[in-house]
Amino acid sequence: METLPDKAPKDPDDETYKQPVYADSAHQSEKIINELQRRGFAPQIIERSYRGKRLTEEQKENNKSKSKIRCRIEHIFESQRCEWETKY
């Protein structure tokens, strides 16, 4: 399993706040989801369809909003990687 922080950062204004963690469906397993929740994170993992079981419209909409956020984050990491490669 990937290295995770011991605890999620807390929002001092909201006791029920949980730091979201965005991931693609490759990280979707009960073990990972349970570990994230145990550490105080809110897993935002993209749901996938399986043979014979399509996603509902609600699941598709949820995936769309999660993907928008993940895409922005991945672009930041990619730009940093490119910058690092040009310097070294």
Series of mean pLDDT values for 10-residue runs along the chain (88 residues): 60 70 84 89 89 94 92 88 82
Determine the pLDDT at residue 28.
82
What's the CA gap between 88 and 75, in Å, rounded? Answer: 20
Q: How far is CA 37 from CA 9, 12, 19, 74, in A?
A: 13, 19, 10, 23
Determine the pLDDT at residue 15.
60
Half-sphere exposure of 72 (CA within 13 A, CB side): 6
